[in-house]
Amino acid sequence: MSGSYAKPTTPAEIAAQSAQISDDAYRALEDIVGAANVSRDPAVLDGYAFQWLAELVRPDQSHYMPRPAAAVLPATTEEVQAVVRLANKYRLKVKPHGTGWYHWSAPLKDEDPTLQLDMRRMGAIVEIDEKNMFAVVEPYVIAAQLQAELIKRGLNLNIPGVGCSSSIVASACAYHGAGPDTYYMGGNSENVLGMEWVTPEGEIVRTGSLGSGDGWFCSEGPGPSVRGICRGTLGSRGGLGVYTKCAVKLAPSFGPTEWEVGGTLPAYRLPIADTQRVYTLAVPDWDAWAEIYYRIYDNEIGYIFHRQFNLAGADLGPAFWLMYNDHTKTLSDVPALVADPEVAALTEELRISFQLILAGRSKDDIELQDKILDAILEEVGGWKVARFCAPDMAEFTNMYLQRLGHKHINFVWAGGYIGSWMQFGTPDWVKGYVPTAIDGLARDAKGGLLVQCGGDAMMGSGSGIPLGGATGLEQFVSYDPDDVDSTKAGILHMEDAIKDAAGIQYPPGKEFLYLQIGWTDEEVWDALAHAKQPQVFHYQRKIKQAFDPNNVGDRMYPTLPEGWAEKK
């Protein structure tokens, strides 16, 4: 049974639906970036229209967001500025992206002629200031690149949950950036120290201490402190100008300054230094889960703290990871592993588990952290999962979580995944929604249109703020984007998750962000009006009016029309 997407169309029909750019404007773009760096060929443009999650929000579950009017590859801040000014002149929209992963990095409306700015020609690491522990990067620098340079210097950076394949500027300036490292290093939205921002009108603004000519050391001054303006509630996600550089705060790495990566593709392994420990820990129930999180926070142990491997599902995850570590095996081997009594026992042992990497400044330090962890485990009734703490799996875990270079495994079961839930709060608060989230996925997958991997496919940072205090768990829901019925089941699950959350007095989670992309403006405004603090969006409207009078940015920088909340 497979739902078909077959929907005949013609190039002319698609072109007629897509907003176009005038020849004059196009020639002007060529003058700015060079003819080789701008295109309006339909096949090139569809490379930008095609986006993950589009099928969840677009008519007929199309995989294409609206086709840009042109794709543009600027190489300098000055070129970005010129393109943005041109957009103002010709009343075009501007949508920049770094590596371009998510439906909202594409144009949002068919009727809006949009310039897709692909920032990949701006990929320099501008500076690494070891003494003051910050790095300055352009938009196409990904976390893997910067981390590779930092490790040599005994430094490290927070790599957000999206993984090391993504732009640092994107997470620091324009979205949210929590991940396994955030517990120790802080999130990228906090770690951003200054930005070079091309405003929607084409002004170049340098924020924080950079704006006063004092370098990149502080986000809030001396100099213009507009971090809150630019970022808004969640980051502007391409909706309010273009960030062309940013500085991010760094952290010490503690481990070796050269990584001797071993193992066999795809399960590479990173040896564990004698000042490091890599553990997969488990607890008997969710009360103990919350308790151990608090105790880890309170005792300030740990370097990387994440619930990672459950993304493959509590029922299938252990078998999956064992399969993944054997390069000769495929998903076809998973059922036999699941049926293996030893793996079945391991599956139960790992059911409520997470990963913790300790890093010490010295052997004494790491031994102390170890003792503290042992005491905590004894107090909460937890344990180290021997199979996953064995050298092979521990080195794999170390590699996985230090680099976060396998995040695309989110899609491993069927090619499509959506994250639901992920409401962020104290462990006790998160614990409060876990049973509902587990039951909800089990219920929605029952019909076989979503991957049945166990109701608990929940993953998330040990803490989304430095030194602990708040966490969140995202339910990994796998669907087949090549099957329209499965895709629709994914949508249904997201709608169900919102209802399920409301049923236990929780706000909507991550699915709410995804679904909004397909809504009308009025539907979005209604939703914003019911947010906990709708005044934020009125404030953001004033910011938008001030910085973007020609409406060059799209609604990813969310605003509420004046009086909208009152009307509703």
- Is 142 a binding residue for another protein by CB under 8 A? The answer is yes
Q: How far is the CB of 344 from another protein (least distance, A)?
A: 15
Select the residue interacting with another protein from 3, 20, 30, 42 (CB under 8 A): 42
- Is 108 a binding residue for another protein by CB under 8 A? The answer is no
* Stretch of residues binding another protein (CB under 8 A), selected from 140-148, 242-250, 356-364, 367-375: 140-148
C-beta separation of 230 from 219 below 8 A: no
- Residue (115 or 528) nearer to another protein, CB: 115
Q: Tell me which residues in 317-376 interact with another protein (CB under 8 A).
A: 327-335
Q: How far is the CB of 214 from another protein (least distance, A)?
A: 26
Tokens coding 458: 């929940």
- Is 415 a binding residue for another protein by CB under 8 A? The answer is yes
Identify the residue whose tokens are 């940013």: 246
Work out the burial of residue 121: count CB atoms within 10 Å of its CB; fewer than 13 is exposed, 13-18 middle, 19 or more buried: middle
Give the DSSP per-residue string, 117-161: EEGGG---EEEEETTTTEEEE-TT-BHHHHHHHHHTTTEE----T
- Is 37 a binding residue for another protein by CB under 8 A? The answer is yes
Identify the residue whose tokens are 């603090």: 533
Beta bridge partners of 416: 479
Preceding amide of 222 cis, omega within 30 = yes
d(CA 409, CA 396): 14
Q: How far is the CB of 198 from another protein (least distance, A)?
A: 20
Q: Please tell me the total number of residues recorded for the chain in this structure.
A: 568
Work out the burial of residue 173: count CB atoms within 10 Å of its CB; fewer than 13 is exposed, 13-18 middle, 19 or more buried: buried
Give the DSSP per-residue string, 236-253: -TTSS-EEEEEEEE-EE-
Preceding amide of 139 cis, omega within 30 = no
- Residue (335 or 549) nearer to another protein, CB: 335
Q: How far is the CB of 145 from another protein (least distance, A)?
A: 4
Q: Tell me which residues in 58-97 interact with another protein (CB under 8 A).
A: 63-64, 71, 73
d(CA 29, CA 40): 11
Select the residue interacting with another protein from 114, 236, 355, 486 (CB under 8 A): 486
Work out the burial of residue 503: count CB atoms within 10 Å of its CB; fewer than 13 is exposed, 13-18 middle, 19 or more buried: exposed
- Is 16 a binding residue for another protein by CB under 8 A? The answer is no
- Residue (1 or 532) nearer to another protein, CB: 1
Pairing mode, strands 93-97 and 114-118:
parallel
- Residue (243 or 479) nearer to another protein, CB: 479
Q: How far is the CB of 331 from another protein (least distance, A)?
A: 5
Q: Tell me which residues in 519-538 interact with another protein (CB under 8 A).
A: none
- Residue (328 or 505) nearer to another protein, CB: 328
Amino acid at 401: L
Q: Tell me which residues in 445-484 interact with another protein (CB under 8 A).
A: 445, 447-453, 478-483
Select the residue interacting with another protein from 22, 212, 264, 535 (CB under 8 A): 264
d(CA 424, CA 513): 14
* Stretch of residues binding another protein (CB under 8 A), selected from 38-46, 282-290, 380-388, 534-542: 38-46
Q: How far is the CB of 51 from another protein (least distance, A)?
A: 6
- Is 423 a binding residue for another protein by CB under 8 A? The answer is no
Read off the DSSP letter of residue 268: E
Select the residue interacting with another protein from 222, 228, 266, 549 (CB under 8 A): 266
- Is 35 a binding residue for another protein by CB under 8 A? The answer is no
- Residue (127 or 522) nearer to another protein, CB: 127
Q: How far is the CB of 410 from another protein (least distance, A)?
A: 8
